[in-house]
Amino acid sequence: MKSFHAIRKNQVLLGITLTVALVNLWIIYQVAPVVVEQEMAQKIFYYHVPLAWNTFLAYLVVAITGGAYLVTNDPKWDTWSLAGAEVGTLFALLILITGPIWATPIWGKSWSWEPRLTTTLVLFLIFLGYFMIREFGGPYERSSRYAAAVGIIAVIDIPLILTAVTWWAPEVQSHPQMEMGSQPASILNVFLFSLFSFILILVYMILYRRHVGELTYRRLTQQGGANHV
């Protein structure tokens, strides 16, 4: 099996992803208008919000492929699940970092129990547990089944967590940009381009991680050691 970047279409994907990401950065700095009351701090939203959308996209991949793995028992679905979980959790961590960076100058404190940020934190913790059960859950076959189940449970839990933390802290000010659709076109277009850029990054990272996951799995099964990992 070839390495990931030896495959032509992956090289093309990497090229497009990198170009779009750089153009995106340039647009955010040079083209996007400066929002008067927030100045430069507002620009982190072009990273923060697409990261959030893509985190949930990645976790959706985890739940769906996890379900497919439980039903079919085909290890290829498990490599998808693992890739989605790792990329999603990395993105979740970036949300948890970019959120406070924005909040520090705007709200005057780094952490507020804003419902969506809180939900991300809880999800992040759940997925740390996900990796732990994968790692320490016993034989490979069993631990990946458990991980698939935890991934599904976590995604089912998202709306419940969001509801609970929203009702729990109703006084916490929500994002100033509740409705992206009601933003002026100059901001909305930059946001949509950034969203596109991050979807490309998500797809590229998941494909890459999945490829590595499959190579790892093959190596394990060739050594006949899949049951001892």
Q: Please give the residue ranges that form the binding site for other proteins (CB under 8 A).
A: 70-71, 122-123, 125-126, 128-129, 132-133, 136-138, 142-143, 145-146, 149-150, 152-154, 156-157, 160-161, 163-165, 167-168
**Min. distance of Cβ 154 from other proteins in angstroms?**
7
Q: Which is nearer to other proteins, 22 or 128 (CB)?
A: 128
**Min. distance of Cβ 36 from other proteins in angstroms?**
37
SS (H, E, C) the chain: CCCHHHCHHHHHHHHHHHHHHHHHHHHHHHHCCCECCCEHHHHHHHHHHHHHHHHHHHHHHHHHHHHHHHHHCCHHHHHHHHHHHHHHHHHHHHHHHHHHHHHHHHHCCCCCCCHHHHHHHHHHHHHHHHHHHHHHCCCHHHHHHHHHHHHHHHHHHHHHHHHHHHHHCCCCCCCCCCCHHHCCHHHHHHHHHHHHHHHHHHHHHHHHHHHHHHHHHHHHHHCCCHHHC
Q: Which is nearer to other proteins, 64 or 199 (CB)?
A: 64
Q: Which is nearer to other proteins, 170 or 181 (CB)?
A: 170
Count CA atoms within 13 Å of residue 134 on its CB side.
Answer: 20
Q: Which is nearer to other proteins, 108 or 167 (CB)?
A: 167
Q: Which is nearer to other proteins, 71 or 97 (CB)?
A: 71
**Min. distance of Cβ 220 from other proteins in angstroms?**
19
Q: Which is nearer to other proteins, 124 or 208 (CB)?
A: 124
Greatest distance between any 2 Cα atoms in the chain = 62
**Min. distance of Cβ 183 from other proteins in angstroms?**
31
**Min. distance of Cβ 75 from other proteins in angstroms?**
14
Alpha-carbon gap, residue 130 to 64, rounded angstroms: 15
SS (H, E, C) 172-183: CCCCCCCCHHHC
**Min. distance of Cβ 162 from other proteins in angstroms?**
9
**Min. distance of Cβ 128 from other proteins in angstroms?**
8
Q: Which is nearer to other proteins, 168 or 196 (CB)?
A: 168
